[in-house]
Amino acid sequence: MKSLLAVYRREILAYLTTPLAYVFVAVFLIAVGTFTFQVGGFFDQGRADLSSFFAFHPWLFIVFMPAIAMRLWSDEARSGAIELLLTLPAPTWALALGKFLAAWSVAGIALVLTFPLWVTVNFLGSPDNAAIFVGYLASFLMAGAYIAIGAALSALTSTQVVAFVLAVLVSFVMTAAGLPLVLGFLKGAVGGGLAEGISSLSILHHFDAAQRGVIEMRSLVYFLSLIALALTGSVLAVDARRGG
Amino acid sequence: MLLQVEGLRKSFGRRVAVDDVSFSIDVGEVVGFLGPNGAGKTTTMRMIAGYLEPEDGFAKVFGIDVAQDRRRAQERVGYLPEGAPLYGEMTPWTFLRFVAETRGMATDAARHAVIRAAHDTSLGEAIGRPIETLSKGYRRRVGLAAALVHDPMLLILDEPTDGLDPNQRQSVRDLIRRLGAERGVILSTHSLEEVEAVCTRAIVINKGKLIADAKPADLAKEHGGLEAAFRALTGGEEGL
């Protein structure tokens, strides 16, 4: 527990003492604003809700979450500091969890800083604030899933760029599998049952479900399992290093 | 016995990096690892420190098998990796506290341990400056302080004086000699003069095998100088 906290603090410090976190948050906020207003037509909808804001989250996260997660392990391997880390008597899961939670916190801060949009809809009308809260919760959970995936892939390479590209690719596939277009294609290729199955395992499927204002137990379990699975992947990849 | 290494073996792909290495170390010994580049010194040290797992054989620290009970063994070992990798954006103060706390020390204990380790390695006022702005000599001291922070009985130092200027080398050697009096130290080096200056024992490794384990003076006597001994033992066929 002590080591988990120490790793968490170190990673947060690393995000804050390098320009990374600031650039990330700033660019994320600009991108979110652009998509919500320009592409999503926030004002044209004439509805006081944040659906045009949340709708773009999966697609923005595919690029943004790998960007925060890419350095977590690959940078340690490149600098050689991983040797120092792995010769400390700390369990690998504590290292992996500490790193993951730090990156997830940065994502959480970025999401919290979108609050002016929430203020705006409340100023313009009377939205369902419970639904908005559920939307944020789902968005945060989804961010965690993408970061955990990015962290696991970062443990496989000593190059940040490679970690980033792999994570974007995997995140995209896991998200796009829920698109109606892909579902239609899969139905033709592998049959209806399997296609539905693949689609229901996609990140998009579970995020969309939560955007209707209720987060189902199924989706909650889905995101948490995805995070747990990816973290296990990180631990296995890091421990595999010891095997040489 | 502080450290017992028995039949240690490790290969990467088809290349055997460490082949059946056995030796042991007691308190008060400073053992120098000698050998050409790629001889298997670093791989051996990494297995003792618990960074790599041996394919065969074992390393036991106070009777605790590093591969079987890694964390308990690692609690008793201080390790300086080759090149002393650090986190450049941190200051020695935050970095050393990170190391101490990741080792499981409580906040207060960690603070005291860091102050002591910084004092032992004469970090001085460098303790508050970002590591990436420090000179190589100071960075090496930070690495040494990180290896010392939990006051381990066994120190494993991979090329602790490599790349330092003569003054910095001298101060690191003095420190090692002081630490070695009541602990066990293994250090790898390319400097034969260093072995003569600080080591009570020299272990020569070549092509993954341990080929000599003796007092530096005895090695020198047998071959007419330590350098001659090194060349005779490790072949020296790498001529121009």
Examine the pLDDT at A9 and tell me if it is beyond 60. Answer: yes
Cross-chain Cβ contact B74/A10 below 8 Å? no
Mean pLDDT on B208-224: 87
Select from B195, B196, B190, B200 the least CA-distant residue to B234.
B190
Q: Compute the C-alpha angle B35/B40/B42, nearest 5°.
A: 95
Cross-chain Cβ contact A87/B104 below 8 Å? no
Residues in CB range of B12: below 8 A, 6 or more apart: A244
**Nearest residue, CB atoms, B102 vs list A80, A88, A243:** A88
Mean pLDDT on B131-155: 93
Report the share of chain B in percent with pLDDT over 70.
98
* Residues B219 and B212: beta-carbon distance below 8 Å: yes
| A238 to chain B: closest CA residue | B51
Whether B105 has its CB under 8 Å from any CB of chain A: the answer is: yes
pLDDT of residue B163: 80
Which of the given ranges, A181-190, B64-73, B166-175, B186-195, has the highest pLDDT on average? B64-73
The span from the CA of B229 to the CA of B236, in Å, is 11
Instruction: Give B42's contacts in chain A (Cβ within 8 Å).
Output: none
Whether B157 has its CB under 8 Å from any CB of chain A: the answer is: no
Crossing angle between the packed helical segments A129-154 and A115-124, to the nearest 10 degrees: 160
Give tens-digit pLDDT for A51-109.
Answer: 888 888 999 999 999 999 999 999 999 999 999 999 999 999 999 999 999 999 999 99
Mean pLDDT on B192-203: 90
**Nearest residue, CB atoms, A2 vs list B12, B104, B146:** B104
Cross-chain Cβ contact B90/A83 below 8 Å? no
Cross-chain Cβ contact B102/A2 below 8 Å? yes
pLDDT band at B94 (very low <50, low <70, confident <90, very high): very high
* Residues A57 and A142: beta-carbon distance below 8 Å: yes
DSSP state of A193: H
The span from the CA of A171 to the CA of A63, in Å, is 9
ipTM confidence: 0.90
DSSP state of A199: H
Cross-chain Cβ contact B86/A5 below 8 Å? no
